[in-house]
Amino acid sequence: MKVKLVVISLAVVGLVACNQDAGKVVPKDVTLDTDAQKLSYAMGMDVGKSLKNLDADVDADAFSAAVRDVLSDTTPKLVEEVAANIKQTFFRKKQAEDMAKRKNAAADNKAKGVAFLAENAKKDGVKVTDSGLQYEVITMGDGVKPKAENTVKVHYKGTTIDGVEFDSSYSRGQPISFPLNGVIKGWTEGVALMPVGSKFRFFIPSELAYGERGAGAKIGPNSTLIFEVELLAIEK
């Protein structure tokens, strides 16, 4: 039991147990001289990240006390059923809050996208297809145009309408290849308009992009997206 206490209590007490200084959480200093201390700290990092991602109001003293009670076989201050209900209530409330936030974000993003596209369509050089896809030609190549069933090789950069870059093959220093019918609708339609050697800028409505589901942390629900795409080749 003593070894177990050293391994886990160091992580929890050393990393999480805190002093209160002007309302701020100040971690106590710990040393990482032994393998047990290093492992404990590594495990504590995982616990800390999980709690931070939950965005929960965690009381460090209560948290560390619960860990000590469990590890030392002291009777916990909460019975299992009560503890389970408290956690269940918290997660249900958080899920409802997250859903409400996402719904509001979806409506806000949709409105911003519609307004942006309406103004963007008035700009010189911007063309609008029947689907609502907008594009402008940066460089017009003289190669053949791909079909939906083709695999294409491209360089690209993607941003939100606010200018936040969320993906770029240029940044990675390597173009990518993919079946043209295996990507978002805006890409399938837009890249098919490009002769090889071209570079276009696409303004893609949310319904032709990732829709209400969004994609990752940077592409919210109902986001209108901007892509600069350079068609390098059609692969056999």
What CATH number has the domain bearing residue 214? 3.10.50.40
Please report the pLDDT score of residue 27 as a whole number. Answer: 54
Longest CA–CA separation in the chain, Å: 77
**pLDDT tens per residue across all 236 residues of the chain:** 444 444 444 444 444 444 444 344 455 677 899 998 899 889 888 888 888 888 788 888 888 888 888 888 899 899 999 999 999 999 999 899 989 999 999 999 999 999 999 999 999 999 999 999 999 999 999 999 999 999 999 999 999 999 999 999 999 999 999 999 999 999 999 999 999 999 999 999 999 999 999 998 889 999 999 999 999 999 98
Please report the pLDDT score of residue 167 as a whole number. Answer: 96
- 198 plus 127 within the same structural domain: yes
- 141 plus 203 within the same structural domain: yes
In a domain, 103, yes or no: no
24 vs 163: CA distance, rounded Å: 34
- 71 plus 142 within the same structural domain: no
- 125 plus 65 within the same structural domain: no
- 63 plus 159 within the same structural domain: no
**CA angle 156–158–160, rounded 5-degree value:** 165
In a domain, 186, yes or no: yes
- 149 plus 65 within the same structural domain: no
Please report the pLDDT score of residue 1 as a whole number. Answer: 45
Its pTM stands at: 0.70
The domain total for the chain is 2
- 45 plus 132 within the same structural domain: no
**CA angle 70–37–51, rounded 5-degree value:** 55
In a domain, 91, yes or no: no
- 168 plus 227 within the same structural domain: yes
In a domain, 105, yes or no: no
CB 162 within 8 A of CB 234: no
228 vs 1: CA distance, rounded Å: 60
Give me the domain span that covers residue 23. 2-77
Please report the pLDDT score of residue 22 as a whole number. Answer: 38
Domain finish residue from 25, 50, 77: 77
107 vs 17: CA distance, rounded Å: 41
- Both structure tokens of 163: 């200018």
Please report the pLDDT score of residue 153 as a whole number. Answer: 98
Kindly list the distances between the CA atom of residue 161 and the CA atoms of 116, 201, 218, 220, 236, in Å, as whole numbers in the listed order: 8, 12, 12, 12, 34
Please report the pLDDT score of residue 15 as a whole number. Answer: 43
In a domain, 113, yes or no: no
In a domain, 109, yes or no: no
CB 186 within 8 A of CB 128: no
Kindly list the distances between the CA atom of residue 194 and the CA atoms of 87, 145, 233, in Å, as whole numbers in the listed order: 54, 6, 11
